[in-house]
Structure 1
């Protein structure tokens, strides 16, 4: 249990740090597109194009953040096999706390009293969860369940990507929710994956859960990047937390046999609900951002607010980083 908790905390730290760096890289790319008066950075619906998302992904901040994401993924996968999903996913989603603290320095954000209070609530809820958590379930499930997980991952990522591109700049919350569901599916897939203990390569490669993990992980990262590029993402962050904690936590209990300590079920339920509510509050209490505007003939969509024809914000010589606790991904 202790090793699992330490692993989940380390994964949370990697994800939280990576999210802030990815937010910095995404916003820098958007400002560069705006300064160049580029019209290729958005789709006809006002959302970020594939090319603009690719440009965001090659900034050094985003690449370092992505490396931390992969490290966090590995640690999170280990935590998912050592802890009940309602505990591991919730601890990992607490990367919002890491993000909030780092945002003070890297994004120039001043945390308000409600934000600090929300952070304290999350930490208290995690203590309740750690106290109440019992042994994790075995994770041995019929292969049909693995196929259902793969089908659900394809539906969430494939269908979600199409819907998000159609909605464009209005899809921040939906993109956050879908990326959270993707990371949640990833956690479930890691838990049920065959061929790991003991290691069996043929069993591993033949398990549909492996491909569900790849699709959900890669697709979740793409949708997460899109959410970082679209307007105000506080709501998207809150939706991500709900998607990656609530659904896996419920599946862990109902499908995989996760449980609490005898007599501590109410403590586990209370801790889980309070942790999710606190994480959502951290996201929602973030300093409000300017609403995104669609691309026009003379300007370009930017998550930092309306732009003049030369790509700069009215009244400013240079745009500042977005003032928001944006872009958290708990992990997966």
Structure 2
């Protein structure tokens, strides 16, 4: 019966505020203007990306910019943006592609997964991957299995110098900085894998008629895919405990309720979830030892990394105008 009631705040958050792709890092991606750079059939074009030393990131999509060739007679020429892309590590000695493939896939539009026609940002998606500071990543494009050519975009006078290399069939050539390719990594959330899960205690509770103040204790870290729980303690046996939540906590301190208890949750989102019928999130009877444990699950969704979720419990108490309350616990979702 209890399991049927378990609807996590994080799942609700993902429904209410679905994550959108954002640009994490890249080269020369702030402008959509580009000159054409042709990659012929049978040629692999490699672009070396160096992760900034102070900016590790997560990504689940990589894209290159494709350009249309100039038209003739006032007619715009449109060619398919198609081919295959892969990510490789760099050889520690030569700096060239090592042959160790991190991910690969067909070039497709960023939204529909179908072959895209004409100019624009095109690439492939892969399972979310963490890239470390100063890591060297080769982004390699080939027009295969199509006849070609492939028309990549380069930024004339772009802000970022780009190192590249070409494999014409006889191995990778020398490193070059002649062409400023346009490249970007994307993800619903670019926070680095080092963004660890944590709980932060906010404020205090209010005293029950027993003279004790109920407490709320987290068990387990709120990492993606984890099962955690929040345990109410010092509560009156036999009474009902109610777990409430909000997105974040009140930025201006507690809202004092009519019975004098503090509400540390963000008032606007707290009320929104009440109106949706999702607050209280869970309700359980307090056991003979004065505790009740609320199980929660964290979805595997990179879009919620770094999202703060506030929790606070109330315990029925007829002796203090209806209820007493715990402090709040703020969950920061991480890896």
TM-score by length of 1: 0.23
Tell me the TM-score normalised to structure 2 length: 0.22
Which has more helix, going by share of residues?
1
* Largest Rg, 1 or 2: 2
Greater per-residue strand proportion: 2
